[in-house]
Structure 1
Amino acid sequence: MNSKNLLLLASMAIAITACKKDDDPAPTPAPAGNNTATVKMAFTFMNGTAPFDMNASYQDGAGHAFRFSGLKFYVSDIHLTDDGGATVGEFHDTYLLVDAGGTNDFTLGAISAAHIHEAHFALGLESAVNHADPLAAEYPLNVPDMHWSWNPTAGYKFLLIEGKVDGNSDGDYDDAEDLDVQYHCATDAMFRETHEHIHADADAGTTVTLQAKVDVGVIISGLDLLANPTAHGGGANNALAMDSLVTAIDEM
């Protein structure tokens, strides 16, 4: 083979190699490491150290037997802090409807890996949300029985307690003396703020669940449900129920 042919073959090889390199896609960069954690919040209803049972009887502050048919409340304005008080997670636009008759395991969202010392949150809704149109809202702000549609100025029911009180202490709830109980705590004045100690590590790539206990006995411990079976709005018994709810929520 003469030198001219050799030179031609070499040129073709270089051209083919160059084309192959041009056609190859650029290498995909390695994905960045995940340094966030998913945060959930769960509420467990209890009576002291015993599990809550919607069909069981509980004692109010005056010793009357009471059976719940409904117990719900709103949680909002959630933010998490570390040991030094610095905010490590904010979920101000997240609204939870905690329902004793349902499952109460909520996903809040993602935060950078951190140690969570406390969870701060509100019971109820801030004024602007409280007076917004529920028909234009998404769940859980569009639940019909949690809003005073007949009295829009009152807004949402921050806490709902419903059931039956045993009026003659005979152990059942179907006598004329047994009264329907209905506590609907509403108006801006019923808004409460609280916090819970957590002490949980939200490690990168993991899911951490902030566990809270709700003691139903504490919620009704200051109420005489036979003497005051109905409390709508922001009266003294509504305020007492909201204050008791603050005390009733604690770490598991």
Structure 2
Amino acid sequence: MRLAGKRALVTGGRQGIGRGIVEAFMAEGAEVVTCGRGARPDGLPDACGWVAVDVADPAQVAEMAREVGEIDILVNNAGVQVEKTVAESTDADWDAVVGVNCRGVFNCARAFLPQMRAGGSIINIGSISGRVADPGMALYNASKAFVHGLTRSIAVDHGPRVRCNAICPGWIETGMLEAGFAQAGDPEAAREDALARHAVRRFGQPRDIAAMAVWLASDEAAFATGQMFTVDGGMTAASPINTGVF
């Protein structure tokens, strides 16, 4: 029960990584509220609070902060992905990706920082795509680089009262992963090649990211701040050579 007595807000907890973090936090004793667009999702634990909000809207986020009150942990997980190059991207694509992935993280941090308890932890969900570019996902790649930069600024400007770190997931089994493979000429071949590049020989699961989030939220991580923690099964540790041939 590493998070007993702590209150947490997790954005984008409807599914995927966000839902995994919600469930892991609750299992460790935290009181959790999550949020997203639309109605409360099916299957969300009864003890978990739900707020319908668009994190890209600063007024809605400010209202959510008033409703939720003091917290110890903020997880900025909500994110969207558009599979396009710069030349293909529209203004609507920009608004969708930058609105949620960049402005959403900024809005939530700005709204909740004044009411975070001393010793609090902000965890932003970045991506290995903020360090290396996934083909055909220009806005997503850029948005995650923004998250990494904002993470460092929050840590520097608001320490020691609050710590701020980012988790940089690799390829996690969610709808976003499938959308990425759909961009390939041969999706199945792309999947097999990607698996061969993982030292653990599997893609990640939401619980893999949730485990890191639990540690960063806990007092065990009291000396960790301003850092980007890559959790990718060893994919970015490998050279471009397909290790599956050895």
* Bin for the TM-score computed over the shorter chain: under 0.3
| TM, length-normalised to structure 2 | 0.26
Rg larger in structure: 1
Bigger RCO (CA 8 Å, 6+ sep): 1
Tell me which protein shows more strand as a share of its residues. Answer: 1
